[in-house]
Structure 1
Amino acid sequence: MTIDEVEALIKTRTRNKVRIHRLEERVGDSVAFLSYSIDDKNQMTIWHTEVPPSLQHMGIGGKLVEEAVQLASRDSSRLRIVCPFAKEHLARHPELKERVTRCCSSLDREQRIIERRSDHGRSVAIDL
């Protein structure tokens, strides 16, 4: 998805006024990005991470997710993750669990569950 497509998606999916932000990593002419929003209740939602093929498998997507989690933790934001890549990344990196748990401690149990695909295609829940 392009940056404009992601921002249009966020606008159609949110009912509240939100500020849309993105983190970017540029390498040459290629740009990887993570789009997130912050609503009037200080909830950060990670919507989408996009890494062009030329930048994949270099750790750039994970770096963007970790940076977003760090922002949420620093700003004491509640964190909601919609992006499948971000969910997968956090599921693969348990060392980030403490940081996510700190910033998400006020969320309901259902909102603190990260789903990921196991090797067998089943959905596995990881409770933070």
Structure 2
Amino acid sequence: MTKNETAHRFEMDVDGQIAIIVYEETHFKMTLLHTEVPPALEGKGAATAIIEKTLEYIEKNHYRLVPLCPMVVAYIKRHPEWKMILDESVRDNY
């Protein structure tokens, strides 16, 4: 996975297809806006993989997470161990 700072998105190549998560970044706060997976990768775990890698990046780089993307929100609700990286402004929603 790579962080494309110019396009404001995380990108992951899966079998020649690119899955993305669009983000906004301010003062060590990462807002995840949209996850997109090409139709050829749907149902193959690509969205889960890029979400996991993005959350690992956020944790490793000491960002606080504001998840606005419904896929990321659903992932965190299924994996509450990631609540620890949530920004305090949204933590009560989980």
Structure 2: 5+ residue stretches without partners: 1-6
The structure whose Rg is larger is 1
How many residues end up aligned between the 2 structures?
Answer: 87
Specify the code of the residue in structure 2 equivalent to 1:107.
E
- Which residue matches 2:83? 101
SS of corresponding position for 1:34:
strand
Are positions 1:50 and 2:36 aligned together? Answer: yes
Are positions 1:21 and 2:3 aligned together? Answer: no
SS of corresponding position for 1:107:
coil
Aligned-pair CA distance for 1:33: 1.2
SS of corresponding position for 2:31:
strand
Q: 1:101 to 1:88 in 2, by over 3 A?
A: closer
Percent of aligned positions that are identical? 24
- Give me the CA root mean square deviation: 1.7
Question: How does 1:1-128 map onto structure 2 within 5 Å?
Answer: 20-28=8-16, 30-39=17-26, 41-92=27-78, 94=79, 97-98=80-81, 100-104=82-86, 107-108=88-89, 111-112=90-91, 113=93, 127=94
Specify the code of the residue in structure 2 equivalent to 1:88.
A
Aligned-pair CA distance for 1:74: 0.8
Superposition TM-score, scaled by structure 2 size: 0.78
Specify the code of the residue in structure 1 equivalent to 2:65.
L
Specify the code of the residue in structure 1 equivalent to 2:23.
Y
Structure with more relative contact order (C-alpha pairs < 8 Å, separation 6 or more): 2
Superposition TM-score, scaled by structure 1 size: 0.60
SS of corresponding position for 1:63:
helix
- Which residue matches 1:122? none
1:24/1:34 contact within 8 Å kept: no
2:63/2:85 contact within 8 Å kept: yes
